[in-house]
Structure 1
Amino acid sequence: MTPLDRVLSSKNAVLAFGGIIALATAFTIFGNDTPLFPPPEDPTGDPATWSIDQLRRWLDLRNLHPSPTATREELLERVRLNIRRPQ
C-alpha cells in the first residue's frame, strides 16, 4: 500500500474533507449578507431601446408576467402602459 492509498483510505481525511465542505456550504448560505448571484438590475432609459429580455424582466419584476409568445412590440406597449413617469 502506497502512502497516497493510506491517506485516501483514512477515515480522518474523509471526515476532514467533509467538514471543510460543510463549513464552506454553511458560510455560503448563512455567512454573508450579499447573495451569491445578485438579481439583475432594473433596466433604465428609454424602453424603446431595451432588448426583449429587458422588457420581459421589467414586466416580471412588477408581477406583470408577459405571455411567452408576445412580440417585442406587444411587450414594449405593455411596458409603456405600466411605466410610472415622475411628476
Structure 2
Amino acid sequence: MEVGPSGVDPQDLQDIISAKHARITSYLRKCSQVWLLIVADAAHISSIGDIDDSVRDYEYTSGFDRIIFYDAFNKKVVLIKE
C-alpha cells in the first residue's frame, strides 16, 4: 500500500548522499568538482515529497561540491548544498 505525498525527510536524503559518497574519490581523478543530483522520479508515489525549509537548512555531511534535488512530478529543482 502506498501513501500520498509527504515531506522529504532530511535523514533520508542524508542516507542517499552517504550511499553515493564512496565514489567521490574516483570521480575527482577526472574532474575538479563533483555534484550529486537526487531525482524523485514520481514512478512511485512514495518518491514524491515536498522540500521545506528543514530540508534546505539541514547540515548534510558530504564531500559533494553541490547537491541538487529534482522533483520530477512537480518539475522543481532545489539546491540542497551549494
TM-score interval, normalised by the smaller of the two chains: under 0.3
Q: TM-score, normalised by structure 2?
A: 0.23
Bigger Rg, structure 1 or 2: 1
